[in-house]
Amino acid sequence: MTTLALNNVRPYGEDATNILIDVTRGVIEAIGDKRFDDADEVIDCGGNVLLPGLVDMHVHLREPGREDTETIATGSDAAAKGGFTAVFTMANTNPVIDQPFLAEAVWEKGQTYGKCDVYPVGSITQGLEGEQLTEIGLMARRGVRMFSDDGKCVNDPQLMRRAIEYAKAHDVVLAQHAEDHRMTSGAVAHEGEQAARLGLRGWPRVAEESIVARDAIMTRDYGGRYHLCHASTEGTVQLLRFAKDQGIEVTAEVTPHHLLLTDEQLKTYDGLYRVNPPLREARDAEALKQALLDGTVDVVATDHAPHGSEDKCVEFEHAKPGMLGLETSLAVVHRVFVETGLADWRFVAKVMSERPAEILRLQDQGRPIAVGEPANLVLVDPQSPWTARGEEMASKASNTPYEGIEFSARVTATWLRGTQTYGAQQD
Ligand code: DOR
Ligand code: ZN
């Protein structure tokens, strides 16, 4: 048995302890007050915070089709650097992940590379065209756990009803990108004062909220595991609260950028800030924060969306929507919740690891830091100032909205089943 000791570490930011990992089996072997100095590899963690490996329900790794902007390999590097041990990569690739063999290829590439478990998301409609449902059952049988047309909304209510029914029959998660496209044609920014001042076409809140309301009612009547991608408005929060109060089983995510940034950013017309759904107003960000704190919104998901400079360093209206997220999300969540005293590291573990693993029913992720549990772990130094720089990211793209921003929490190491996937090798 090969062993690794993580000495002087603080699980969930609580009391310092020592952890011994059986690297061969990839599980936590022992936890105790005495340092494990005889392990094959011994790391003194200097009292840093240990969390279960993070799980991201929503990324875009662009393979197949746009390997010039990200690949499963570079995306896995970015994920490991951000503290993630599992990610779900969306189906809006080229070709679209709408058949079992395509989904299997994504999973296998991720496993071969070995830095992060990359779960494929299957599309709800063939080619994301919003017309014909995919073979949800066939893909589900081959292990696809979540289906989404993300990037596009399943607008047609009859089609959505069928999708909900099929997803229920196959017991998979259906994730909706809520945007009534009939209200957002040509829109590039949140519809409000800021867009009006800047002369940008607006994307009103109601385009999201009307779909959320409809889908909540459909979920009430037709069942299934409905998940809302990137909730972005105060009204969406109210609707989710209403749905949950009625006992409707919906889950929802919020992105780090919708928690920290607002449409104030748009004043420079920098395409880096174009994203879908758009950055909204302070009151939306505030409502989303409260919703995550009280469980109305379940998880943080990055919507990591790499784009090349040819698609970002252009006029705002021509910039493609999307922002990098994997390498900055933990730092942003730390800034918004931990630094401010709104929440602790237990909360971070819950919304970035435990809840997403639970929603996707991953047996080996988001587990407690305890003996016998899988050694999917991330070590975080809460006080190690660093500055976000797109050029320095492991991601192939560099479209971070946090360029030049200083953060204090830094991921120092990540382990997937006991194998280090990120961080300086120590002896
Ligand atoms: O900003 C976004 N970018 N939102 C989406 O829904 C899709 C994504 C992408 O694929 O670039
Ligand atoms: Zn989306």
| Ligand 1: residue whose CA is nearest its atom 7 | 151
Q: Which of 56, 263, 303, 311 is catalytic?
A: 303
| Residue 66 sits in the same domain as residue 144 | yes
Question: Within a domain: residue 221?
Answer: yes
**3-state DSSP call for residue 96?**
coil
- Alpha-carbon span 21 to 6, nearest angstrom: 8
My answer on whether 221 and 130 are in the same domain is yes
pLDDT of residue 169: 98
Looking at the structure, tell me whether residues 104 and 29 fall in a common domain.
no
Same domain, 138 and 44: no
Query: Does the CB atom of residue 177 touch ligand 1 within 6 A?
Result: yes
Nearest to 78 by CA among 337, 365, 312, 388: 388
pLDDT in tens, the chain (427 residues): 999 999 999 999 999 999 999 999 999 999 999 999 999 999 999 999 999 999 999 999 999 999 999 999 999 999 999 999 999 999 999 999 999 999 999 999 999 999 999 999 999 999 999 999 999 999 999 999 999 999 999 999 999 999 999 999 999 999 999 999 999 999 999 999 999 999 999 999 999 999 999 999 999 999 899 999 999 999 999 999 999 999 999 999 999 999 999 999 999 999 999 999 999 999 999 999 999 999 999 999 999 999 999 999 999 999 999 999 999 999 999 999 999 999 999 999 999 999 999 999 999 999 999 999 999 999 999 999 999 999 999 999 999 999 999 999 999 999 999 999 999 864 3
In a shared domain, residues 244 and 116? yes
pLDDT at position 427 is 38
- Whether residue 239 is contained in a domain is answered as yes
Q: Which atom of ligand 1 is nearest to the CA of 306?
A: 11
Residues 35 and 155 in one domain: no
Q: Is any ligand 1 atom within 6 A of the Cβ of residue 71?
A: no
Closest CA to 201 of 186, 180, 217: 186
Q: Are residues 93 and 165 in the same domain?
A: yes
60 is in an annotated binding site: yes
Question: Is 179 a pocket residue for ligand 1 (Cβ < 6 Å)?
Answer: no
Supply the range of the domain harboring residue 26.
3-49+372-384+405-423
Residues 114 and 190 in one domain: yes
63/16 same-domain check: no
Tell me: is residue 376 an annotated ligand-binding position: no
Which pLDDT value is given to residue 424? 81
SS3 per-residue string spanning 405-423: CEECCEEEEEEECCEEEEC
User: Residues 210, 333: one domain?
Assistant: yes
* SS3 state of residue 307: coil
Residues 102 and 72: their CA atoms lie apart, in Å, by 13
**Catalytic site includes residue 303:** yes
Residue with tokens 């009204």: 235
In a shared domain, residues 127 and 225: yes
CA distance 377 to 317: 41
Instruction: For the beta carbon of residue 411, count every other beta carbon within 10 angstroms.
Output: 25
Distance of alpha carbon 148 from alpha carbon 154, whole angstroms: 9
Which domain CATH number covers 306? Answer: 3.20.20.140
Q: Does residue 102 lie in a domain region?
A: yes
Domain harbouring 419, CATH code: 2.30.40.10
Residue 390 lies in a domain: no
Whether residue 389 is contained in a domain is answered as: no
Question: CA geometry: angle at 110 spanning 83 and 253, to 5°?
Answer: 50
CB–CB of 226/251 below 8 Å?
Answer: yes
How many domains would you assign to the chain?
2
Same structural domain, 316 and 271: yes
Is 25 known as a binding-site position?
A: no
